[in-house]
Amino acid sequence: MSKLGNWFQKKINISVPSMRETVKAIEKDSNGNFLYLTNFFSPSGHIKNDYNLTLDKDKADSLLVCTPFSTVINKIGSLFANGRIYVTDKDGNEKEEYNDIRKLLSRPNPLQTRAGFFKEIEMSLKLFGYCPIFTVRAAKNSSPLAMYVIPAQIFHMVSSGKLFRQYDIEDIVSRVYLEWNGLQEELSDEDYFVIYDSSAKVNGSNQDIEFSSVTDSLSMPINNWIAAMAASYQLIVNGGPKGIIYSDYTDKMGNQAMTPEEKEILESKLKEKYGILNKFPILTSKIKLGWIPLNYDASQLKLHEEDKRCSRKICNAIGIDYSLFDESKYDNKSIAEKSAYQGLIIPDSEKVSEALTDAICPKGVFIKLDYTHIDCLQKDKSASSSAFQKMASSLIQLVEKGQITLDESRNELAKFIDIDPDNPKGELKTNNSIENGQN
């Protein structure tokens, strides 16, 4: 347990440098691959550009270097964290005796609030397809005192080699442990639980159980984005496209070299006029020269388009509308956000609520995540008002033509507004009472 506590402390204390701080330069290896030179990932200073997103470690690493990937995953996590938590009985009633569970969910651990904890859960579900949770308990079978999200890349479930004939997880999983820096920390059943959003691939005996995820298919888009950014960086840092300078003289005199004095005078004039020679070296010559490009500039290579293309592929794979990240109209973003909640966030919240309920609640107590307060999920009042007016006009016409009774119309009206058709509040004005009042 002390080793595990030390790991989480190290995890929180390490501040992850930004891309600007970690990337020092870019080089090209003998195979033509661009390599980031950095001091963040390894002593050698190399970040690869061939991430295999079927591996948990590569998923975690690529999230730190691929901006579109990080943007989409973090956005989904932020949307998920907006849910309100309720702890109720089977009839939906909140009780004071559930306060310990509410307190745990509002402050899952000393380092995280409710929002941060639930954001991390959703990010893990979307990134890895599952989310392991470590629970701190005072005694076996007691309620947890704290909960931490375990990074999936250090979490290992070892298969017993058995599957279809088993009905208990203990018969399928022979061992669970955490591994980092060459150390292994064994976990017992009460130390953890797992929230799933994918199918498990149970391999042979004594092999890790793997979890598939929609992000498994994103290796190529993410690697393409990194390559495009490396190429763009190369163009910016090394001064633009490469090529060959050649003599463009066609007369019989040929080239005439500039003397050192002439070169110094010309460069001095440029420095006085532009003041940039100290920062950007410029070659000056009176010789008539030509240029043969050996590659293309950024606009011709369309490197900037890779950013949008990568973002779209990530959004499509995860199941979220790209309009949520596009510089489009507000209405489009509102519709995309509503679609994200209805098609992604709310279904995920049911999985998370069910797993948390099973793991930390006594029998008969349920955890619920609610999103009905979110602005984009509220009913459009103008549209509702228009629909109500049309419905009311139709009911009036049907009553006046004698096709339905007033009571029948009130029964239909009760489907749109909160009224009791059998027990109206106040005096119900019928046609007769209106006529009598007019008389």
pLDDT tens digits, residue range 122-168?
A: 999 999 999 999 998 888 878 889 999 999 999 988 887 777 776 77
For residue 200, tell me if it sits in a domain: no
416: containing domain: 383-425
With a cut of 60, say whether residue 340 has pLDDT above it: yes
Confidence at residue 246, expressed as pLDDT on a 0 to 100 scale: 64
Longest Cα separation, the chain: 117
Tell me the C-alpha distance between 157 and 193, whole Å: 11
For residue 433, tell me if it sits in a domain: no
Both 303 and 352 in one domain: the answer is yes
Q: Give me the chain's average pLDDT, please.
A: 77
Q: If you write DSSP's letter for every residue of 29-95 in order, what string do you get?
A: -TTS-EEEEESSS-TT-EE-S---TTSHHHHHHHHHH-HHHHHHHHHHHHHHTTPEEEEE-TTS-B-
Average pLDDT over residues 327-343: 81
Domain count, the chain: 3
pLDDT in tens, 31-47: 555 444 443 344 444 45
pLDDT band, very low/low/confident/very high, at 403 (cuts 50, 70, 90): confident
Tokens of residue 278, six digits: 């100290």
Both 68 and 128 in one domain: the answer is yes
pLDDT band, very low/low/confident/very high, at 73 (cuts 50, 70, 90): very high
- Per the document, the length of the chain is 439
**DSSP bridge pairs for 366:** 88
For residue 208, tell me if it sits in a domain: no
pLDDT in tens, 307-325: 788 889 999 999 888 888 8
**DSSP bridge pairs for 26:** 36
**DSSP bridge pairs for 431:** none
pLDDT in tens, 193-216: 999 888 777 777 777 888 888 899
With a cut of 70, say whether residue 114 has pLDDT above it: yes
| Domain edge (last residue) among 294, 309, 331 | 294
Both 100 and 223 in one domain: the answer is yes
Both 290 and 302 in one domain: the answer is no
Q: If you write DSSP's letter for every residue of 179-233 in order, what string do you get?
A: EETTEEEE--GGGEEEEESS-EE--STTSB-EE--GGGGGHHHHHHHHHHHHHHH
Closest CA to 83 of 114, 124, 126: 114
Find the angle CA(12)-CA(14)-CA(16) to the nearest 5 degrees.
110
Both 278 and 418 in one domain: the answer is no
For residue 201, tell me if it sits in a domain: no
For residue 156, tell me if it sits in a domain: no
For residue 172, tell me if it sits in a domain: no
Average pLDDT over residues 21-31: 47
Both 303 and 402 in one domain: the answer is no
Both 24 and 116 in one domain: the answer is yes
Q: Are strands 155-159 and 144-149 parallel, antiparallel or unpaired?
A: unpaired
Tell me the C-alpha distance between 46 and 258, whole Å: 44
Residue 339, classified by CB atoms within 10 Å of its CB into exposed (0-12), middle (13-18) or buried (19+), is middle
Both 144 and 268 in one domain: the answer is no
Closest CA to 31 of 48, 45, 55: 48
pLDDT band, very low/low/confident/very high, at 81 (cuts 50, 70, 90): very high
Both 220 and 254 in one domain: the answer is no
With a cut of 60, say whether residue 19 has pLDDT above it: no
| Domain edge (last residue) among 363, 378, 393 | 378
Both 285 and 340 in one domain: the answer is no
Both 251 and 363 in one domain: the answer is no
Tell me which H or E stretch contains 316: helix 303-318
Place of tokens 């599957």: 163
pLDDT in tens, 208-267: 888 888 899 999 999 888 888 877 776 666 655 566 666 666 665 555 566 778 777 777
Both 356 and 307 in one domain: the answer is yes
